[in-house]
């Protein structure tokens, strides 16, 4: 989402300020104080640690194109890192240095730019990319040619065609293990649903690598937050980012583990109002990123931890020798001088 999620009222701002762990710069703590999960004192929680961060791409250009506005990440089949901008650019990055190697401009069927947000590299190397304006999911070739477009439930379309709000639709996209099920996460609730329930839509792969509509699930968000990204874990659960912004306080970013496997299929339920018999996805907090050591990071605007910015993209890059997932996050700087394009290297035990 190009504009940051704003908690507008003074009451919400005060609540956010009291629930965040730190109101200013957070110093790294000695490893002895952080438990067995700590790696050189870099623990964010009992299950998440941060190795390092990188601002290498902040306010840079590549062949005259601004590098930033990142909304999603994916690991390509050759091991390189693909990074999607929400302004219709898809970059191929060196996985070690993060330096751009190529860029592809994306467009819709009429040649117009996308508000490109969610991103998956399919098993044949083609790219599945969401745009949150309609919303839509299109399949692109590596060189940016449109190959397919997936169906979207009418209720998830932006009003007046449906009940969603523009720029608050398909922010996250992931393939579940096995590659047969695609899942997209809505950023915010649709009209008629409770304000704390967002819908996650799935599709099932059919012949010819097309996808048909399948089950839908409800996910309960924290007050004032939305869902900018979701990634499948190897066992079929989901890493879910929740994010918000309060003027004068800064960003809230939390990483959750959610399980859709026993949740109710809500595709046939018109309004989600907390009715009995509807099982929302169970979720478990893995870490509040404000609790991570700052590692010497600086912020250009007020933040509860100077490490924080508008974190929006996430991908799982592998496992370490202890079985923890290696998770890479990236922030969307909105091409704003007061924000930073920052990559975060996490290790997550699920």
148-161 confidence digits (pLDDT tens): 999 999 999 999 99
CATH dotted code for 48-348:
2.120.10
> What is the residue extent of each domain of the chain?
48-348
Task: Please state, in angstroms and as integers, the Cα–Cα distance from residue 337 to each residue in 84, 250, 284, 300, following that order.
Answer: 20, 15, 35, 8
CB 162 within 8 A of CB 151: no
Return the pLDDT at 3: 45
Task: Provide the pLDDT for residue 226.
Answer: 98
Predicted pLDDT at 288: 98
pLDDT at residue number 1: 57
pLDDT in tens, 96-149: 999 999 999 999 999 999 999 999 999 999 999 999 999 999 999 999 999 999
Low-confidence ranges of the chain (pLDDT < 50): 2-39
* Separation in Å, CA 49 to CA 97, 250, 328: 21, 22, 12
pLDDT at 220: 98
pLDDT confidence of residue 36? 35
């Amino acid at each position: 989402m190009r504009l940051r999620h704003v908690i507008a009222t003074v009451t919400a701002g005060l609540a956010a300020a009291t629930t965040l762990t730190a109101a200013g710069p957070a110093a790294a703590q000695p490893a002895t104080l952080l438990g067995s999960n700590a790696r050189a004192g870099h623990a964010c929680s009992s299950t998440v640690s941060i190795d390092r961060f990188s601002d290498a791409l902040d306010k840079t250009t590549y062949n005259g194109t601004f590098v930033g506005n990142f909304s999603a990440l994916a690991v390509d089949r050759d091991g390189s890192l693909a990074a999607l901008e929400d302004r219709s650019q898809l970059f191929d990055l060196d996985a070690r240095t993060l330096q751009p190697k190529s860029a592809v401009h994306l467009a819709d069927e009429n040649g117009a730019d996308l508000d490109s947000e969610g991103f998956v590299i399919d098993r044949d190397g083609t790219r599945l990319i969401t745009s949150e304006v309609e919303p839509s999911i299109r399949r692109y070739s590596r060189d940016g040619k449109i190959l397919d477009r997936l169906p979207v439930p009418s209720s998830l379309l932006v009003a007046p065609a449906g009940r969603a709000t523009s720029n608050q639709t398909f922010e996250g996209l992931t393939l579940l293990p096995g590659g047969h099920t695609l899942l997209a996460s809505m950023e915010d609730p649709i009209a008629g649903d409770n304000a704390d329930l967002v819908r996650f839509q799935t599709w099932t792969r059919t012949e010819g690598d097309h996808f048909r509509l399948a089950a839908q699930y409800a996910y309960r968000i924290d007050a004032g937050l939305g869902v900018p990204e979701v990634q499948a874990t190897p066992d079929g659960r989901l890493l879910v980012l929740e994010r918000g912004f309060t003027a004068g306080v800064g960003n809230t970013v939390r990483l959750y583990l959610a399980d859709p496997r026993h949740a109710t299929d809500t595709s046939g339920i018109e309004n989600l109002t907390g009715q009995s018999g509807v099982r929302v996805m169970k979720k478990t907090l893995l870490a509040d990123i404000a609790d991570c050591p700052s590692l010497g990071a600086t912020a250009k605007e007020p933040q509860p931890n100077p490490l924080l910015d508008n974190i929006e993209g996430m991908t799982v890059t592998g496992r370490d020798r202890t079985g923890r997932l290696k998770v890479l996050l990236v922030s969307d700087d909105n091409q704003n001088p007061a924000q930073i394009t920052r990559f975060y290297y996490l290790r997550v035990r699920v």
